[in-house]
Amino acid sequence: MVFVLGTALLVLALTNPTLAFVPIGGGTATHVTITGNALLQKVTEACKAVANAAGHEFEPTGSSPEELVKACLGPTATGEVSGAKFHAALQEIYIQNGLVDRDFVNSAPHHFNSESFLEGRALIIEGLATIKSNIRLENFKAARETLGRILHVLQDFYSHSNWVELGNVEPFSNLLRADLPLENVAEVNTPTCSDCESGTCPNPILYEILQQKKLTSGYMGIFSNAKPKGKCSHGGASDLTSAEIPRGGINKDVPHAHNSGLHRQAVNVATFASLELLEDIRAAAGDKDFLRMMGIARSSVVCFVIDTTGSMSDDIAEARKLVYEIIDSKKGTQDEPSEYILVPFNDPSFGPMVRTTDPDKMKKEVSSLYPFGGGDIPELCLSGLQLALTGAPASSNIYVFTDATAKDIHLKDTIAALIRSTKSTVTFLMTGAGAGARRRRSLRAGSFQDYKDLALASGGQAIQVTKNQLPQATDVILDTSTSALVTVLQRARSPGNEETFPFVLDESLQNITIYITGAPRATPTFTLTNPSGVNQTQNEATGELGTVRTVGNLQRIRLNPDKKAGMWTINIKSTQPYTLKVTGQSTITFIYDFVERFEGPHPGYAVVSGRPQAGQPALLMLSVMGTKGPTSLNIKEVGLVTVSSPEIVSNSIITEKDSGDILVEVDAVPDGEFVILVKGTDEETKSEFQRQSTTQMSVSKVNIKAVVSSTVEPGKTLILPFSITTEGTNGTYGITANNDKNFPMIYPMSLTVKAGEPTKANLSITPPPTTPSGTDVTLTIDVKSSSVGADSNYVVLRLSVVEKITDFVAPLCNVYDVMAGDCPDDVSKCGPFKWHFTANLTDNNGTGIDQISLRQGNGNLTYTSLSDPLVQAKYEASCCSQTAEFVALDKVGNVGKCYHSIVKDFDPPQCQLVRLAVDGGKCPNDLTYCRDHKWELVVNLTDGNGTGLKGISLHHGDGILIYSSLNSPVTEVSYNATCCAQVVDFRAVDKAGNEGRCYYSIVSSAGPLTLSVWLLLAAALTAML
């Protein structure tokens, strides 16, 4: 089943005629489609491997990402599964992929323009090393961002070079290996193209370049028309060099009449190159961490930030009890947390952050917390919260336990920026009044109101209770530490008043909970009404609609399971400030980003890192998700809703809609803080639904631009240029920068900014020499006007600290001493028999072997000490498990593979005709007109019960050869050519070395098909891949 799904996804990528090497938003299929199809196939393969290792089948019920996630998380766990994290991970990769066309538009290496092959490969090699280092330290977001960028670079090679014009149908693997040469590159003074005045020549590459197999790429000039004499241009309206002889261009970014065949082949090879790169990362990371990087995890994350001062003993005990309850009660369900995070804080210390997927380790860590110190009020609460926000996955629920105000109140703007950037929800559980016996030490310390501000900004709760009441208040944590959590409605009123709030509950919602928080000792009153008109008030602890519990300033209403779908209302009365929140569990949800258009050779959309710009329409990119994927939802309305004032819903226009991604343009943006409201219909149940984002946002006239263009080595200094622009008034703007690792930074404390003119400056950051390679640093720059109104904005950036890599050679494997003579020829009788082999592994003069893991096979793998120069591995298995593959990983992530199969495979791959089609029914007898007619051959390649296909290559023919996944039981191969090319010969090799040959000759009469498969045996049963 999994292979069928993976193949179907890949075939879609290879056959879609509108694929283009352009960024997100450029059409119905783009770099995003190439990347997405490769990611989905590789995720599918990893999910199947994990499922097989766990002893259960991997059987997605459909092809949507939601169904893929549900199947991947296993059939035994009960509960709802949300695809939101997977979608969000994909979006992060897509966005970074597209940003290469904005941030590095004039950088030749980032696009393999201007024959910059060595420099382009260096970007890929550096990126691969960074990704592997990030994954080792579980910095998955940083890994995803780098992955998106280097996939763009890699894919552009096939569109911008002449690789496919040279007849290549396989990826250029040397681009992933710095230890292998880049040979036969055209010299700088060697002409490569003929003149093409029309700009629409099918292939302007010079004949001698093609004959000599010289590698070249087009020169690109956005600001200059200069290029070496005789060199190819990139081409297109933005390329000034394309008007210089030789004119035209060789890019295959977009399909046109003159290059559609080459474009399709470039897409095909770029897709397989992307799969090759992803496989290298997967092998280095292992399947489980690869899937974690891709957001394939249960959506629940438990993240506690706990004050450990002397007065917190009761709070710590309750937190400990709560962690145990969450772990023990949710084990084996989809609500079981995928990750546990703990950040203690005190004064003068905070951290370190503990992050683990092991529930027993979390129990041990929380049990080791003990209260100490204290004596005054302020603590480093916001420093601890900063660690949690930068360390936890995006959209996490974070719970802060404290009885003190924040000493580090200067971080409040940074925390607000991180909340908006990560879209995480922060709930504060505050015991006492923040004073009591502890003495206030700093007049600059914050108050509990600061916590309430941050909770409201994030969509969380600010719960004030006594220490005795705390055990009753923690139900909110049990409610929200769950999978598929969605927000239906959230509002705040200050000052309070009487107001009725309508909201829609749909059929898919379960475990619906309503929270009302008010001022201490001023509990709001409410009347809840269902669609049938049945009411319940706060005085009815158990009523027809649900159960009500009041503790401290929190009222929690849990609706009965038999709730009615439709329009509900809640009327709230209070003269004091209050908040209202309605949540539930459902697979219907959405993720979003504010975006902005960018121009250039490949225009697209980029995520706004900060607050959107005031005085202009706001653009939103949304991805919607349902049980059966986005096609099961009909989106009717998307609006911006103010949270803390009378409702203003800004009307919006959906300008693009494809595969669940929606581009929304909002003309009028509210002045205050707002959230996103989405309404629509679930086509599965015909039920109306509404969902709301939790993170509040507002607009600004200030704009900050900054791009991290490289990694930084430990002990070295990175210079980060940034610029500030305002559409407001001239003036002085204060600058505050913070990073979550407290690395030393130098930057100007203020800048004078003139309206409409960018003011440029630099920030330098220096990680200590002892910083571990793969460390991810989150850097926040806040800018605030000194004038009345204090307009402000921020930018959140990530940079990776990576040691310089000098080891590019993978560990080597030599298989010997294979003992399989006892295995019977009849595999059905394999049960009582075993086979084994031995392999020597070495990293020669490299960094040394760090890990060895079994990738394929059900046998037992043992090995000697990894610190030895020569590691001996032994593998033993039942004769029923006839293939083994294990991976040897060195300390910088280079991957070596050992493969051996005892499958008695002597038969070559087989060709089976699927379709033969000729324009007009036959080719013309007069070959003068042969280019005006085309023919297509489609065959299926199989290896029967053999070792499986290893490669396909075109040996003769001037057409385009495209094929689907080699991992599938059936590989579809299509060949397209003009009637001038009447012969095709392509070969398929299986993993045992047997070669099958598909040969076809078409004559002018378009006579009967002649296909033959030739059997060529090769003794290649043992291979080091």
pLDDT at 1002: 78
pLDDT value for 24: 57
Outline which parts of the chain fall under CATH 2.60.120.380: 486-586
CATH number of 707-801: 2.60.40.10
Which residues, 6+ apart, have CB-to-CB distance to 537 below 8 Å? Answer: 525, 526, 527, 528
pLDDT of residue 10: 26
pLDDT at 1014: 33
Q: Which residues contact 61 (CB under 8 A, 6 or more apart)?
A: 67, 70, 71
Q: How far apart are CA 296 and CA 302, in angstroms?
A: 17
For residue 945, the SS3 value is coil
Sign of torsion, CA 444 447 451 457?
A: negative
> Which residues lie below 8 Å from residue 795, measured CB to CB, with a gap of 6+?
609, 610, 704, 705, 706, 722, 780, 781
Q: How many CB atoms are closer than 10 A to CB 375?
A: 12
Task: Provide the Cα torsion 133, 134, 137, 141; round to 10°.
Answer: -170
> Structurally, what CATH architecture does the domain formed by 299-483 represent?
3-Layer(aba) Sandwich (3.40)
φ, ψ (nearest 5 deg) of residue 912: -135, 125
Distance CA 509, CA 412 (A): 35
CATH architecture for segment(s) 589-692: Sandwich (2.60)
- Residue 1004 is given by DSSP the state T
Q: Rounded to whole angstroms, what are the CA distances from 109 to 187, 241, 929? A: 17, 17, 41
Strand order in the sheet with 554-559: 485-493, 578-585, 510-517, 554-559, 546-551
Contact (Cβ atoms closer than 8 angstroms) between residue 204 and residue 230: no
Q: Count the neighbouring beta carbons within 10 Å of the beta carbon of residue 931.
A: 12
Say if CB 83 and CB 587 are below 8 A apart: yes
The closest of 465, 449, 618 to 607, measured between CA atoms, is: 618
333 DSSP assignment: B
* Amino acid identity, position 488: V
Nearest Cα neighbor of 233 from 222, 221, 223 is 221
Q: Is the peptide bond before 908 cis (omega within 30 degrees of 0)?
A: no
Start and end residues for every CATH 3.40.50.410 domain found in the chain: 299-483
pTM above 0.85, yes or no: yes
CA distance 508 to 502: 18
Compute φ and ψ for 105, nearest 5 degrees: -60, -30
Q: Per CATH, which fold does 910-1023 belong to?
A: Immunoglobulin-like (2.60.40)
CA–CA gap between residue 214 and residue 208 (Å, rounded):
8
Helix (H, G, I), strand (E, B) or coil at 959: coil
Q: What is the mean pLDDT of each run of 10 residues along the chain (1025 residues)?
A: 24 36 54 90 91 84 81 77 89 94 96 98 97 96 97 97 93 94 95 94 94 97 96 95 96 88 90 96 96 87 92 92 90 85 91 93 94 74 96 93 92 95 95 52 64 95 92 88 91 91 96 93 93 96 96 95 94 95 95 92 90 89 85 89 79 70 86 92 92 95 94 98 93 95 97 95 98 96 86 95 94 95 89 95 94 93 96 96 94 94 87 86 77 86 85 81 83 86 86 85 50 32 28
CB 939 within 8 A of CB 997: no
Q: To 10 degrees, the CA torsion angle through 766, 770, 774, 777?
A: -40
CATH code of the region 486-586: 2.60.120.380
- In this predicted structure, what is the pLDDT of residue 58? 86
Class of the domain covering 812-900: mainly beta
- 1003: number of Cβ within 10 Å: 12
Q: What kind and span of H or E run contains 283? A: helix 260-285
